[in-house]
Every structure is written in C-alpha cells, then in structure tokens.
Amino acid sequence: MAFRVLVIGGYGNFGSLICNHLVMMPDIELVISG
C-alpha cells in the first residue's frame, strides 16, 4: 500500500523541488494541490 502525501503549493518553485524528490521515492503517491 502506497503512502499518500499531499503537497500544498506543489506548483511553485519550492513545491516543485519537493515533488521532484518525493516522486523518486518508492511507495509514495503524490497528491499535488495548487
């Protein structure tokens, strides 16, 4: 079962950096919110 992570502000500069690192981790499901 994947661990679901909500990233608020994931489309900004800092949020996109966080999302790029999290997407490489196994068993992580990203939910990105503006």
Q: Is the dihedral of CA 30, 8, 32, 10 positive or negative?
A: negative
Q: What is the pLDDT of residue 2?
A: 87
Q: What is the pLDDT of residue 8?
A: 93
Q: What is the pLDDT of residue 19?
A: 93
Q: What is the pLDDT of residue 23?
A: 93
Q: What is the pLDDT of residue 24?
A: 95
At 19, list the tokens: 């999302």
Distance separating the N- and C-terminal Cα atoms of the chain: 25
Q: pLDDT digit string (tens) for 3-34?
A: 999 999 988 899 999 999 999 999 999 999 98
Q: What distance in Å separates the CA atoms of residue 32 and residue 28, rounded to the nearest whole number? A: 12
Domain spans, the chain:
3-33
Residue 11: C-alpha distances to residues 4, 24, 26, 31 (Å): 18, 17, 21, 11
